[in-house]
Chains A and B, each alone.
Chain A
Amino acid sequence: MDIQRPHRRRVLSLLGGAAAVGVSGRAFAQTDSSRAEPPKPAQIVVNHSGGSMGSAMRKAFFNGFEKKYGIRVVETSPVDFGKLRAMVDSGNVEWDLTEIGGQDAIRASKMNLLDKIDPKVVDRSKYPPTAQNPHVFASSVYTTIIGYRTDVFKGGTHPKSWADWWDVKKFPGARSMRNHPTDNLEFALIADGVPKDKVYPIDFDRAFKKLDQVKPHVTAWWSTGQQPAQLLLDKEVVLATGWNGRFYDVIKKGGPIEIEWNEGALKQGSFAIPRGAKNPYWANKMLAELAIPQQQAVYASELGYPGLNLESLNFVDAKVKPYLPTAYLDKQFWISDEWYAENGTKAAELWNAWMLKKA
């Protein structure tokens, strides 16, 4: 695939320290004089969740970056908020760029753990306004939705809403849900009749009462991302909530699984530059690479997680589009990172207590 144009125009953008001008939407334009940018380090360190995500990022972004700038991209994992805080607090920041969870990103910027993203380097003009946080780069969209076994639920007989998910008479069989309050509290409220745009602020009592009903039918509470697809494949359960990319991976390989997108819980994957990172300029350059729509399309086709540069959908294969959550934005709802940044601890405590409750 010829994704990158062979020639990238270099535009002079040094104007007495004033804002850079003439930045093309495709990639940041450099000045001809090397005075404009700090010296190239031998390498930069990008921290992400690893696994198949790491290999997709290498294919879509890192290889191109290395070729373009001659800077090696060293990858580390996993994503760890505690470690980020410890690094910034101690002043020994190993990561130039790190992936970070949505609500963690909000808390991290409040705790002053993140560097501002340089708008002169990273062009986000094609991003939705909600995805232009000054400290947080929205890299991709993912959603928690229903995965089901196609040999058990044939010809559209599967649950199509959270109300259906809770209806164990009409849709019998073992279920798996995430061992975490996020998503489940929202699903419970929606199943109980709350419109999906009115779930926040969450009514804990109502949510847990509804969750009580489904608890005996959840045979496994998953804690790692690959579990739901595995549980379905092993026939441990017939229904599982899970992240769309993990199901997409199995479907791509011909596994007997399908996705119901209705009332899915959308979240954004994010990257940020830790305060005190050793090469902030080159971290911004890496973000600029992550913002290129063609590269985002490569990434989305690999994993099923589309980028937020809205142009990127134009570069995706028609066969892939039905498996991207951005194709069903209206049917789904956004998880409120703001609400969890405020109430996450309380939600986690209540969740643990609820999990310990017998039956």
Chain B
Amino acid sequence: MTTRAWPALPALILLLVFFLFPVVRMLGFSLEGGTFDWYAKALGEGLYLRVFWNTFEIALLVTVFCLLLGYPLGFLMATTTPGWATLGFIFVLLPLWTSVLVRTYAWMVLLGRNGVFNRLLMEAGLTTDPIPLLHNFTGVLIGMVHVLLPYMVLPIYGAVRRIDPAIPAAAAGLGASGGRIFWRIYLPLTLNGIFAGSVLVFVLSLGFFITPALLGGGRVMMIAVLIEQQVREALNWPFAAALSAVLLVATFAIYALAQRFSQPETTR
């Protein structure tokens, strides 16, 4: 080991003991009795496959919406005056420090049939009957995007900040339009931030639990709910471990795939 690696040792040991070891033990659980039966059940039964599919579908949608909302916000925060940027940070970070449960309940108040949004819409005469925003897929999407948005905004903010302001200035000086500057300079140079943010949001989405349960009205089922049921209610830990392992492997696979597509050019 080179001397440069020594300072990293405590963190590596920490990961080994508190992350790698439990993961390996969990994998051991899933193969209890030396059979792949639990994997066969996880991948063979329609119920579990559908819930896996649901989970990835929701995670993908949440990532896309976070990107659509988060990119302009991160971009703005990185390019505006320090005062506005601070304000932006407060708005982005404050929710991050609030309990997920509290935020989820706040959305229930806002999105309900007699919630703030529906009352505003009806008073404005835009609709006569309340729009179903809660206890369905829409509610889950709104709640999750809100909870996860900071994880998208911050990496994008960082990426935009790292761009030398002379580059877009030069492009503008040479007569490039705003759109062209964005597509040819900002976007390629912030791809890393987009990638980092998307991976964070996607991976965090996969494990979501309380938000879908409360805002989805029970209709939106994600794999974490089923794993929790197996751990706490059914006490079938081998099966819970197998479900978790499938989720883990699928997540790695998607991560690897995304990395291939995101940065073919850079070598750091």
Contacts and interface: CB of A to CB of B under 8 A. Distances in A.
B134 to A, nearest CB: 7
Interface string B43-77: 00011001100000000000000000000000000
Contacts of B134: 220, 236
B218 A220 contact: yes
Interface stretch (B150-158, B227-235, B247-255): B227-235
A18 interface: no
Given A352-B47, A355-B218, A356-B50, A223 B232 contact: no
Contacts of B226: 352
Interface string B92-125: 0000000000000000110011110000000000
A223 B214 contact: yes
Contacts of A353: 46-47
A196 interface: no
A348 B113 CA distance: 30
B219 A236 contact: no
A221 B114 contact: no
Contact of A349 (B47, B214, B231, B237): B47
B140 interface: no
B28 to A, nearest CB: 14
A223 B218 contact: yes
Contacts of A234: 108-109, 112-115
A219 interface: yes
B229 A348 contact: yes
B181 interface: no
A185 to B, nearest CB: 15
Contacts, number: 66
A179 interface: yes
Nearest to B113: A236
A249 interface: no
A104 to B, nearest CB: 8
A76 B119 CA distance: 40
A344 B236 CA distance: 12
A69 B229 CA distance: 39
A81 interface: yes
Interface string A267-280: 00000000000000
A355 B221 contact: yes
B232 A220 contact: no
Contacts of B233: 81, 344-345, 348
B207 interface: no
A223 B214 CA distance: 7
Interface residues of A, number: 25
A230 B213 CA distance: 15
A81 B232 contact: yes
A220 B47 contact: no
Nearest to A351: B229
Given A356-B47, A356-B51, A348 B218 contact: no
Given A81-B233, A348-B233, A222 B218 contact: yes
A9 interface: no
Nearest to A83: B232
B135 interface: yes
A140 to B, nearest CB: 21
Interface in A93-148: 107
B221 A82 contact: no
A252 B139 CA distance: 31
B214 to A, nearest CB: 7
16 contacts: A81-B235, A179-B213, A179-B218, A220-B134, A221-B218, A222-B218, A223-B218, A234-B115, A236-B113, A345-B233, A345-B234, A348-B234, A352-B226, A352-B229, A355-B218, A356-B50
Interface of A: 80-82, 85, 107, 179, 219-224, 227, 230, 234-236, 344-345, 348-349, 352-353, 355-356
The 9 tightest CB contacts between A and B, nearest first, are: A221-B218, A179-B218, A220-B217, A220-B135, A82-B232, A345-B234, A82-B231, A353-B47, A223-B213
Given A81-B232, A234-B112, A355-B221, 12 more contacts: A80-B232, A107-B235, A179-B213, A220-B134, A222-B218, A234-B113, A234-B114, A344-B233, A348-B233, A352-B229, A353-B47, A356-B51
